[in-house]
Structure 1
Amino acid sequence: MTGAIYPKMAVIGCGLIGSSLIRAARRAGVVDEVAVTDLSPEVLKRVHVLGLAEHVTGDVAEAVADADLVVFAVPVLTMGEAAKKAAHALKPGATVTDVGSVKSAVAEALAAELPDNVFLVPGHPIAGTEQSGPDAGFAELFDKRWTILTPLPRTDEAYQGAVKRLSAFWTAIGANVEVMDEKHHDLVLAVTSHLPHLIAYNIVGTAADLEEVTQAEVMKYSAGGFRDFTRIAASDPTMWRDIFVANKDAVLEILGRFTEDLQALSRAIRWGEADKLHDLFSRTREIRRGVIAAGQESAEPNFGRDRDKH
């Protein structure tokens, strides 16, 4: 034994986040043993070839048996189904968490299926790239990024201890940790992540549908801004479909506000209100500088992309 925070970790779903979590935990020495399960036989084959886990199985119950930490890293609309398969095999006292970008719906789905003798602590690491699959993961993905935990409204000592233990785990693998109310999380992420992805999907789709501009021209003459949109719009379609369905209330609220602001911007352009445009662009420039100062600029590192190619 190494004094790991969790002797055995089970990861349900081994895409970018799940495989990165395993690599980060190995690097930090905070787990001794890893079990992985995934619905895709191809993913399980890659996990085995890459040597990511001691136990690789297509059976969820088998993967979670005796695990001290169970991490659900599946699309948010399938969390409940995955938890149902795991429930009867969970070790009493185990900590169960997730990495989903929506917290209210996920917490409800997990809580409905899990037994009372485990500690459910929903979570969300705010990190990622447009890549997917076990080959895309890299240990440095969470370094200096925020992981938000949204604990249940429990005040008992045992549960609070589980929250502290999970927080220590994320801190040990390089993340900053914040505890937040689940509904507030969903509103914040609707602004900072979900709406930007929706805009990216829409603007790339608009460009592709323009009859006056060929698709070849869109690709050939893409300026920096459009290239950034295409990178975002290349994200996993299943994951993002589920996010928008699961977090529809918060997304629609922020989308309504955005639409109003966009209409005001349209009027300023139509009437040549240069001062209004300049004020907006100056204010948003300061936001960008704040993001960089906070260390949250994504450098899109190549960690892991040129290795583990067995």
Structure 2
Amino acid sequence: MTAPTPSAPLFDRLVIIGPGLIGSSILRRAHENRAIARELVASDIDAGVCARVRELGIADRVEADPARAVVDADCVILCVPVGAIGAVAAQVVPAMKHGAILSEVGSTKVSVITGVLPALASRPDIAFVPSHPMAGTEYSGPDAGFPSLFENRWCLLTPPEGTPPDAVARITALWQAMGAHIRTMTAEHHDRVCAIVSHLPHLLAFTICGTADDLAGETRSEVLDFAASGFRDFTRIAASDPTMWRDIFLNNREALLEMLDRFMADAHAMAKAIREGDDTVIVNRITRGRAIRRTLIENRQA
């Protein structure tokens, strides 16, 4: 693939498979900024999603068949649940043109790369650049997206060894055009980082809301009636898509379980401090939490 001229878009044809929150946000940003792609194509197995994307006008063309959608595309981004990425890659890779770039936006990377590589075994001409934009909301579907979703957020790239530098540079440029900051790391490191900063918090939110829901009678009613901001924050996270998070938990189980074990040890230590009236431990933990919050605000990640 030849480098674009200064006046040419980054990609001639960009294809989004799965225009949900992330996919439709990419389309919206690229629709606003035509320096990203001359033509935007969207595809989804759900006919209702395809119809809604047409109504929203965020893609130049919509195809129900993903293999047909990727024909002559310069870049294809898979925006489907991580458990489906390998199967979708097997569908689209044979139809991709020589020299095209395949990317995806999954929240786990070891499992995704393992799932995609078999489809690429007979297509060494296709460059694979996994990416993970660290942005989102509790909403899903094509109506949930918005063009500023990735602004000042991190996008983590985990290109396998031997990935052509030009392909990595193009995907980097794509996410920079989305407004994101870029960090490159190994897939293994990515999964451990995301286990603590994203996957474990979601697991805890789902669990806490389940505990509240299990409370009987009047107590449960009062929990829901008098919910303070802390509990409301958990319910916002817990409103996330069940299929997506099921796949994330199962596909990053080793790193997630490691972080869960560490959290449980810390929770037991905090319980012991409360039981024994050890205010030093309690204040230290709260102070560390406040410091992390201040850092997030300073880094414009909160």
2:260 is the alignment partner of 1:252? no
**Partner of residue 201 from structure 2, selected from 191, 196, 202:** 196
The normalised TM-score by structure 2 is: 0.95
Report how far residue 173 of structure 1 moved.
1.7
RMSD between superposed Cα atoms in Å? 1.2
Aligned-pair identity in percent equals: 46
Report how far residue 213 of structure 1 moved.
4.3
**Partner of residue 89 from structure 1, selected from 95, 109, 121:** 95
Matches within 5 A, 1:45-194: 45-114=51-120, 115-154=123-162, 159-194=164-199
Distance 2:57 2:37 in 1: 15
Structure 1 residue matching 2:98: 3-state secondary structure: coil
**Partner of residue 233 from structure 2, selected from 225, 228, 234:** 228
Is the alpha carbon distance of 1:213 and 1:96 closer, same or farther for their aligned partners in structure 2, counting shifts above 3 Å? farther
Q: In the alignment, is the contact (CA less than 8 A) between 1:71 and 1:96 conserved in 2?
A: yes
Q: Which runs of 5+ in 2 are unaligned?
A: none
**Partner of residue 268 from structure 1, selected from 270, 273, 289:** 273
Distance 2:114 2:218 in 1: 46
Is the alpha carbon distance of 1:127 and 1:94 closer, same or farther for their aligned partners in structure 2, counting shifts above 3 Å? same
Distance 2:102 2:190 in 1: 19
Q: In the alignment, is the contact (CA less than 8 A) between 1:28 and 1:173 conserved in 2?
A: no
Runs of 4+ residues deviating >4 angstroms: 212-215
Q: In the alignment, is the contact (CA less than 8 A) between 2:67 and 2:95 conserved in 1?
A: yes
Distance 1:214 1:269 in 2: 23
Report how far residue 214 of structure 1 moved.
4.6
Query: 2:44 maps to which residue?
Result: 38
Deviations 1:261-302 (A, max 9, x none): 1110110011111111011101111011001101101xxxxx
Structure 1 residue matching 2:149: 3-state secondary structure: helix
Distance 2:178 2:222 in 1: 43
Q: Which moved more, 1:191-200 or 1:275-284?
A: 275-284
Query: 1:303 maps to which residue?
Result: none
Query: 1:307 maps to which residue?
Result: none
AA partner of residue 57 (structure 2): G
Structure 2 residue matching 1:254: 3-state secondary structure: helix
Q: Which runs of 5+ in 1 are unaligned?
A: 298-310
Q: In the alignment, is the contact (CA less than 8 A) between 2:200 and 2:260 conserved in 1?
A: yes
Q: How many residues align?
A: 294
The normalised TM-score by structure 1 is: 0.92
Distance 1:285 1:49 in 2: 45
